C-alpha cells in the first residue's frame, strides 16, 4: 500500500498543467484579449457590446 503514495505523486507530475498551456490558439481570440476585451459564450453582459468573435467564431468578443 505504500506504493500508492508514489503512484499519486507520479500522477500529479504527469497531469500537472504547464505554464502557458492555456494560451489561446486562435488568432481572433488573441486579438480580442490584446485589446483588453474578453470572450464569452452567448450574449455579452448588459454594459458590454459584442465587437467580434473568439475561438474561430464560436464565442463573442465583448468590450465596453
Q: What is the pLDDT of residues 8-54, one digit of tens each?
A: 888 777 777 555 556 567 889 889 999 999 999 989 999 999 999 99
Helices (H) and strands (E) in the chain, counts: 2, 3
In terms of pLDDT, which residue wins out, 3 or 32? 32
| Domain boundaries along the sequence of the chain | 24-63
In CATH terms, 24-63 corresponds, of 3.40.50.300, 3.10.360.10, 3.30.70.20, 3.40.605.10, to 3.10.360.10
**pTM of the predicted model as reported, rounded to 2 decimal places:** 0.59
Q: Is 12 helix (H, G, I), strand (E, B) or coil?
A: helix
3: left (phi over 0), alpha (psi -120 to 50) or beta: alpha
Q: Return the C-alpha cell found at 31.
A: 486579438
> What pLDDT digit, counting tens, does each position of 9-22 carry?
887 777 775 555 56
Give residue for cell 485589446: 35
Phi, psi of 58 (to 5 degrees): -80, -30
Amino acid at each position: 500500500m505504500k506504493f500508492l503514495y508514489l503512484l499519486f505523486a507520479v500522477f500529479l507530475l504527469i497531469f500537472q498543467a504547464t505554464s502557458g498551456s492555456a494560451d489561446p490558439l486562435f488568432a481572433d481570440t488573441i486579438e480580442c484579449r490584446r485589446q483588453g476585451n474578453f470572450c464569452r459564450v452567448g450574449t455579452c453582459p448588459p454594459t458590454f457590446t459584442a465587437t467580434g468573435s473568439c475561438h474561430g467564431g464560436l464565442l463573442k468578443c465583448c468590450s465596453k
